[in-house]
Structure 1
Amino acid sequence: MRKIIVGAFVSLDGVMQAPGGPEEDPVGGFRFGGWVAPFFDETAGATIDELFAKPFDLLLGRKTYDIFAAHWPYAGADDPIGPLFDRINKYVATRNPAFRTTWQNSHVLGPDALAAVKALKSEDGPDLLTQGSTDFLKALFENDLVDEINVFTFPVILGKGKRLFGDASFPRALTLVNSRASENGIVISKYARAGEVTTGSFEFDTPTDAELERRRNLT
């Protein structure tokens, strides 16, 4: 069975929109496109290399696919990511039935993208790595399909923008596999699935009269 592995650049307040440049995704009047570039450093680059070192296929939403297809095939041999992305399979989720891929080794997931993803997960083969793809990621989180999350948290607050998680994400406990801080303050953390969410309490065994009154006031 294949894993779905998320790779995400996020701000401290969870925004992941348009990390790569001003024209990448200005939807909604987002004006901070390219916010990753001033912080990107050697440690972040090395961690990306580690993420790409194991065999994988890409699992992308259509907007991120379009961004990648307009960039990586033209990156040239000096950038190893371009030839790597050319070579591997790229699976794209789109609501447009007329959408046609233009990039080699690209495959449309079809009208029921989630069913297609579940079928891919059940097969033998390389893991499925997401990049960007905010809307599609929300569907993956809502349907409990994500196995591992690699989050690069940048020391910046962006306010409005597309975020990594939505309110409908499937409740899930995670284990921190490893974490490191880069020289420019990027906190890079890997999380794996760890079963159901558990809860506890710091309340008194016998609630005070003030606490009981507080609870009554909540309703």
Structure 2
Amino acid sequence: MRKLTAGLFMSVDGVVEAPNLWQFDAFDEQLGAELSGVLGRVDTVLLGRVGYQEWSGYWTTAGHDDPFGGFINPVQKYVASTTLTGDLGWQNSSLIEGDLAAFVTELKQGDGGEIAAMGGITIVRELFFAGLLDELTLLTHPVVAGGGRHLFDPSDQTTRLTLIDSYRTAKGNVVSRYAKAE
């Protein structure tokens, strides 16, 4: 069975939205190595509508010499959206037809490498609570963002996690890898 992972940049106050606004001065070589490791394992990406629209507008112009651009442009991308229709226009991008959880369950049963949920707070949350996310990595930057969306809502049910691994980078970022507790 294929593994489904997600990784989110997070501030100390729990904000995961728009990390480009607050992560820049704490990004270091160790975070770069962490992300390179992910790119080496992943051959399928799941995106939400907002993430897809933001990324397809930016990354399609990135050259192959950009490490993330060289990864995200050719990789197979599946987009979860109830409003997008037709041809998505970004190479190797397909719209998920029907229920996200059912689609991902079937995708995990197929052949291939790791599947990563990227560019979508809502889909990461949905896949987590559906029990389909095998691993959640939080890359916590030493900053208070002050405003923005959080991964979890106050109305979410209490859910126990198991810490798989955790380490601190040279610039004070904490990388924590979790799985749902059995």
- TM-score, scaled to structure 2: 0.90
Q: Is the 8 A contact 1:144 1:170 kept in 2?
A: no
1:42-121, aligned counterparts within 5 Å? 42-98=29-85, 100-121=87-108
1:122 is displaced (CA, Å) by: 2.2
Please tell me the residue identity of whatever aligns with 1:65: Y
Q: Is the 8 A contact 2:77 2:94 kept in 1?
A: yes
> What corresponds to 2:137 in structure 1?
150
> What corresponds to 1:7 in structure 2?
7
- Cα distance in 1 for partners of 2:10, 2:119 equals 10
Q: Residue deviations 1:101-133, cap 9 Å, x none? A: 111111111232222122212222222101230
Q: Is the 8 A contact 1:2 1:123 kept in 2?
A: yes
Q: Residue deviations 1:117-153, cap 9 Å, x none? A: 2221222222210123012222112212111011100
Root-mean-square deviation (CA, aligned residues, Å) is 1.9
> What corresponds to 2:170 in structure 1?
183
- TM-score, scaled to structure 1: 0.76
Residues 80 and 159 of structure 1: CA distance in aligned 2, closer, same or farther (over 3 Å): closer
For this pair of structures, how many residues does the alignment match? 182
Q: Is the 8 A contact 2:42 2:116 kept in 1?
A: no
> What corresponds to 1:159 in structure 2?
146
Secondary structure at 1:71 match in 2: helix
Residues 109 and 37 of structure 1: CA distance in aligned 2, closer, same or farther (over 3 Å): same
- Cα distance in 2 for partners of 1:57, 1:163 equals 25
Q: Residue deviations 1:16-71, cap 9 Å, x none? A: 11112xxxxxxxxxxxxx21112111111111111111143111111111121112
More strand by share: 2
Q: Percent identity?
A: 37
1:134 aligns with 2:116: no
What 5-or-longer segments of structure 1 have no aligned partner? 21-33, 196-219
Secondary structure at 1:70 match in 2: helix
Secondary structure at 1:8 match in 2: strand
